[in-house]
Amino acid sequence: MKRLWTIIGVSNVARSFRWYQSLLGLPEKMPAHDDFGQLVDEDGTVLLCLHQWGAHGHPPLSSPDRAPPGNGLLLFFRVDDFDKALLRARALVDRLEEEPHRNPGPGTMEFSLRDPDGYYVSISALSATEAGVTANDLQAFADAWNRHDIEALMSFMAEDCVFEASSGQDAWGTRYVGREAVRDGFASVWQVFPDARWENATHFVRGDRGVSEWTFTGTRGDGVRVEVHGGDLFTFRDGKIAVKNSYRKNRSPATRV
* 3-class SS of residue 61: helix
Q: What is the mean pLDDT of the chain?
A: 90
How far from 133 is each of 141, 198, 210, CA to CA, in Å?
Answer: 11, 20, 9
pLDDT at 200 over 70: yes
* pLDDT for position 105: 76
pLDDT (tens digit per residue) in 33-59: 999 999 999 888 999 999 999 988 877
Go through the domains of the chain in sequence order and give each one's CATH number: 7-130 (3.10.180.10), 132-248 (3.10.450.50)
Tell me how far apart the alpha carbons of residues 257 and 255 are, in angstroms, rounded to a whole number: 6
Pairing of strands 240-248, 157-164: parallel
* pLDDT for position 128: 60
Task: Give the global pTM.
Answer: 0.54
